[in-house]
Amino acid sequence: MSYFIDRRANARHKSAVNRQRFLQRYRSHIKRAVEDSVNRRSITDMERGEKISIPSRDISEPVFRHGQGGKRTIVSPGNKEFVEGDRLRRPGGSGGGGGAGEGSASNQGEGVDEFAFSLTRDEFLEFVFDGLELPHLERKQLADVEEVRPVRAGISREGVPSRMNIVRSMREAQARRIAMRAPIKRALQEAREALELEEHKDPVLRNPSRVKELRDEVERLEKRLETVPFIDTYDLRYNNLVDQPQPSNKAVMFCVMDVSGSMTQTHKDIAKRFFLLLYLFLERNYEKVELVFIRHHTAAKEVDEEEFFYSRETGGTIVSSALNLLNEVIHDRYPPGQWNLYVAQASDGDNWDDDSTNCRHILSDKLMPLLQYYAYVEITPHAHQALWEEYERVAAHHPERFAMQQIVEAGDIYSVFRELFRRRVVA
Amino acid sequence: MAEIGTITRDEEFLGKGSDWNFEDLEHYQREIDRIAKDYRLDTYPNQIEIITSEQMMDAYASVGMPVGYHHWSFGKQFLSVEQAYRRGQMGLAYELVINSDPCIAYLMEENTLMMQILVMAHACYGHNSFFKGNYLFRTWTDASAIVDYLVFARRYISECEERHGVEAVERLLDACHALQSYGVDRYKRPSPISAEEEAKRQQEREAYLQTQVNALWSTIPQPPREELLQDDDDPLGLHQRGRYPSEPQENLLYFIEKNAPLLAPWQREVVRIVRKLAQYFYPQRQTQVMNEGWATFWHYTIMHRLYDEKLIGEGIMLEFLQSHTAVVAQPGFDSPYYNGINPYALGFAMFTDIKRICEHPTEEDRRWFPDMVGSDWLETLHFAMNNFKDESFIQQFLSPKVMRDLKLFALLDDDRDEMLEIAAIHDDQGYKQVREALSIQYALGHREPNIQVWEADVRGDRSLTLRHVSNDRRPLDKSVYPVLRHLHQLWGFAIKLESVNDHEVTQRYQWPLPEGE
């Protein structure tokens, strides 16, 4: 007796729990791999999974086994030239030329001693944000820039030729023609009938002056009929567009980072995590997010991502150089009316002494009126310097849009974002 | 009329492409069933489940248990299956069949019609009849109870997780899994498992078990009733009460379940569950070659019958032959694709050769298998399937022809000799020796180190001593330490392990490691 059961509609992912258990158990390994991967990847490239390898010895399940050594006989297939009593050298020092492929190195790319598997995108992001405890990045109402966008608003008599509505114009013209020609046609008809009547009268009774009068009338009416224009400026109709304010769905994120000698690669990695968070957040809120990387030591420069995170510079620090460049870039390429502007700045807090005051002035006078949000992180375990104090004054003036935070470890980054979220929820 | 009807129907099936529907499956299942009965294949009822490839990966990952408890190691299994499948390294699941009554077999929806027919012949009739007929399965497993037991086990373990925390249960399972292969009774027939009874007896057993363990550890067990010898150093005979256990115990998990001093009752129950499942899988580990060989032999035979009866067309047949050839391929030891002896290839070759010996014996066969020559092949085949395991099957039935065809040779690897030696090859002087060596290679007792409980020091420091009886001086792998650590977690006191070679202790292991190491 046999029967078939169609189980295809049953729940998939029966192993989901076991999979999660595995990921949980090897959290530290996976986290390390994910961290490497984050450092390797571009910030815009976080929306996919990752292949993770863990050394097999770390995840092996031990059992009692025989080790190398002792005496054993191995039976293998595929003998070609051996005869009984042949003596062979041990291959590669390891015992066991046959066996069940023990310790054989794979030539398919990765060694057998690596356990490789793939994380899904969600799992990957979870590991990226692990320790940051970032809440679900929900779409929140941001104070968006109002951008005007032309919207159709019916038909008007005025406009530019390029917006002319042909159909409507021709319809108007036809209506006008009908309206203007009808009385003339009627009069013409009457005149012709009268003329005919007059001409068919007996010659004796015919009134020649009347005939001439009528003929002139017909001629005049025919001319009038012809002069009714096919189309008149009066007929023209245009599509009407009205400017309607609309929230912009474009954002640009400026990453500003100090790359002077005092910023180590660790600092930069933490900064990268911070930029990444802001990017992911913006990405979920705007249709289009552009990135601008500005790095500075004593002079600022706009660079690509690769150079931003990985090239090494030395020298002093003048933060205002970056802020000035930022201002220029905004004015050149990202008019604040069309773009939502976000700035994320990371630094170790060092600045040229006199420069911090400059920074405050540039921020307060030029930049803050344009920006949606300015987030500053100071990656240092040490005491704050002048820049922090000046920034605190800026923050006092713009509590809504200026956030600053000190970060010692990657895990601290979250608090910056908590600030951002908390305030927006209230607003 | 009816005949004409059948003919058109068959032609309709003959012309089938690779798409299938339930009607096709039922049709072929009936035909295969008829042919199988012809060959006296006695099976459990079949429960054939159609599943998706994802579900197949799930099924794979739970090592063939239709319902499994949760553990990270199954997740690891799943991830590696998934990775291999995505990369196309692995054709998923030629067959997956569960030794239960009814026998559950899976068909993947992506498979072609040919594949579905093949899997039905292979799993639903080949493996199924093996499960029902082979003496090991008849003795050690209870097909009708397993699914219920698995459900019980899963529920019990998730209850434990709720009560004691996932991590505590996970650690316990880790420790049990490390000793899984030592959780079987090799010689004593186990009592059959029954979920219903388990659940019913569960509560009383928990209470009872604990009192039993308490008794063992609080009141020192009485020595055997024999005259205590007087000794000057030990006038009270405190050290003469004999070893506990008095006989070495092969089932480590059983010993722990019953005797570990500190385990809570629920922990003993979990140990028991792992032990019972290990016992259930024990016959499968001993009959790989036979089981696969048997199933392969029958799918091959059944497919040919279907073709001869014009129930399948040439297209399906060609597709089948290609697939079958890949399954029974045996790369040589020096091939990059070599991955040990292919049980499908060896088993299929042996069963096919048994049939040949019965029907068309040569002079050689008359010398080697005088009893088999001229006997009814089907009878002989069933006899072999019913009464042997890999070890003894090879010893009894591996013929010189199969050894020649596979070009088997035996290599002697002795660490006292700096060279390897070819001990025997597939020639007249070598057949017996190759066969002997291959048979030993499949003996579980030889593959796995022989480790038994030697002594639990119930009156002293409560340490547990195991004995490893070394075979041909083969040492234990370094993995012995992590296993001892797991064992230590279960037992709660120091663990010692002695390697014994020729009644002489050659190596001692210990956990926790002695100070200074």
Is the pLDDT reported for residue B385 higher than 90? yes
Among the partner-chain residues A1, A6, A63, the one whose CB lies closest to the CB of B479 is A63
Give chain A positions within 8 Å (CB) of B62: 14-15, 18
Strand partners, A404: A376
How close does chain B come to A284, measured CA to CA in Å?
30
Highest mean pLDDT among A237-246, A270-279, B472-481, B490-499: B490-499
- Find, among A295, A288, A291, A261, the residue nearest to A276 by Cα: A291
With respect to residue A141, please indicate whether it lies within any of the assigned structural domains. Answer: no
How close does chain A come to B38, measured CA to CA in Å?
15
Same domain, A214 and A330: no
Same domain, A268 and A168: no
Give chain A positions within 8 Å (CB) of B440: 73
The residue in chain A having the minimum alpha-carbon distance to the alpha carbon of residue B28 is A2
What is the rounded CA–CA span in Å between residue A225 and residue B40?
Answer: 108
Q: What is the pLDDT of residues B176-191, one digit of tens each?
A: 999 998 988 877 665 6
pLDDT confidence of residue A381 = 80
Same domain, A285 and A236: no
- Domain range for A218 is 161-240
Q: What is the pLDDT of residues A369-392, one digit of tens each?
A: 888 788 888 888 888 888 888 888
Out of A77-81, B189-193, B403-407, B483-487, least confident range: B189-193
Residue A276 to residues A41, A307, B56, B190, B326: CA-CA distances in angstroms? 11, 16, 38, 60, 49
Mean pLDDT over B250-279 rounds to 90
pLDDT confidence of residue B7 = 40
Same domain, A289 and A373: yes
Among the partner-chain residues A101, A108, A116, the one whose CB lies closest to the CB of B338 is A101
pLDDT confidence of residue B16 = 62
Same domain, A236 and A289: no
CATH code for the domain in which residue A279 is found = 3.40.50.410
How close does chain B come to A2, measured CA to CA in Å?
4
Same domain, A197 and A256: no
> Are B333 and A17 an interchain contact pair (Cβ–Cβ within 8 Å)?
no
pLDDT confidence of residue B189 = 65
Is the pLDDT reported for residue A416 higher than 90? no
Same domain, A123 and A172: no
Same domain, A179 and A314: no
pLDDT confidence of residue B161 = 92
Give chain A positions within 8 Å (CB) of B338: 78, 101
Task: Say if pTM beats, i.e. exceeds, 0.95.
Answer: no
Q: What is the pLDDT of residues A151-198, one digit of tens each?
A: 888 888 888 888 899 999 999 999 999 999 999 999 999 988 988 888
> What's the angle, vertex CA A80, arms to CA A76 and CA A82, rounded to 5?
80
How close does chain A come to B512, measured CA to CA in Å?
16
Highest mean pLDDT among A16-30, A216-230, A405-419, B11-25: A216-230
Q: What is the pLDDT of residues A261-285, one digit of tens each?
A: 777 777 887 787 778 777 777 776 6
pLDDT confidence of residue B4 = 36
Out of A73-87, A343-357, A399-413, B106-120, least confident range: A399-413
Give chain B positions within 8 Å (CB) of A116: 83
Q: Is pLDDT larger for residue B460 or for residue B366?
A: B366
Number of inter-chain CB pairs under 8 A, A vs B: 273
> Are B52 and A73 an interchain contact pair (Cβ–Cβ within 8 Å)?
no
The residue in chain B having the minimum alpha-carbon distance to the alpha carbon of residue A98 is B333
As a whole-number percent, the residues of chain B with pLDDT over 90 amount to 40
> Are B76 and A59 an interchain contact pair (Cβ–Cβ within 8 Å)?
yes
DSSP state of A362: I
Phi, psi (rounded to 5 degrees) for B343? -60, -30
Cβ within 8 Å of residue A426, ≥6 positions away: none
Same domain, A367 and A280: yes
Q: How many residues does chain A have?
A: 427
Is the pLDDT reported for residue B97 higher than 70? yes
Do A218 and A256 contact (CB within 8 A), yes or no?
no
Same domain, A282 and A375: yes
What is the rounded CA–CA span in Å between residue B469 and residue B459?
Answer: 25
> Are B427 and A84 an interchain contact pair (Cβ–Cβ within 8 Å)?
yes
> Are A67 and B474 an interchain contact pair (Cβ–Cβ within 8 Å)?
yes
Q: Where are the domains of chain B?
A: 18-134, 146-185+192-218+246-286, 328-445, 449-511
Residue B197's pLDDT band, with cuts at 50, 70 and 90, is low
Same domain, A324 and A234: no
How close does chain A come to B211, measured CA to CA in Å?
31
With respect to residue A258, please indicate whether it lies within any of the assigned structural domains. Answer: yes
How close does chain B come to A75, measured CA to CA in Å?
4
How close does chain A come to B350, measured CA to CA in Å?
14
Do A147 and A338 contact (CB within 8 A), yes or no?
yes
With respect to residue A146, please indicate whether it lies within any of the assigned structural domains. Answer: no
Domain count, chain A: 3
Is the pLDDT reported for residue A426 higher than 70? no
Q: Is pLDDT larger for residue B199 or for residue B342?
A: B342
pLDDT confidence of residue B363 = 92
With respect to residue A332, please indicate whether it lies within any of the assigned structural domains. Answer: yes
- Find, among B272, B143, B152, B138, the residue nearest to B205 by Cα: B272
How close does chain A come to B151, measured CA to CA in Å?
14
> Are A98 and B411 an interchain contact pair (Cβ–Cβ within 8 Å)?
yes
pLDDT confidence of residue B203 = 64
- Domain end point (choices A213, A240, A267): A240
Residue B240's pLDDT band, with cuts at 50, 70 and 90, is low
Residue B196's pLDDT band, with cuts at 50, 70 and 90, is low
pLDDT confidence of residue B503 = 83
pLDDT confidence of residue B457 = 86
> Is residue A409 classed as helix, strand or coil in its secondary structure?
coil
- Cα-Cα-Cα-Cα torsion A396, A400, A401, A406, nearest 10 degrees, comes to 60
Q: What is the pLDDT of residues B434-466, one digit of tens each?
A: 999 999 999 888 888 999 999 888 778 889 999
With respect to residue A151, please indicate whether it lies within any of the assigned structural domains. Answer: no
Cβ within 8 Å of residue A331, ≥6 positions away: none
Same domain, A324 and A418: yes
The residue in chain B having the minimum alpha-carbon distance to the alpha carbon of residue A99 is B340
Give chain B positions within 8 Å (CB) of A66: 447-449, 474-477
Among the partner-chain residues B50, B73, B441, the one whose CB lies closest to the CB of A6 is B50
Is the pLDDT reported for residue B229 higher than 50? no
Chain B interface test: which of A73, A107, A115 (most B C-beta within 10 Å): A73
> Are B421 and A25 an interchain contact pair (Cβ–Cβ within 8 Å)?
no
Chain A interface test: which of B25, B69, B76, B80 (most A C-beta within 10 Å): B76
pLDDT confidence of residue B88 = 62
With respect to residue A233, please indicate whether it lies within any of the assigned structural domains. Answer: yes
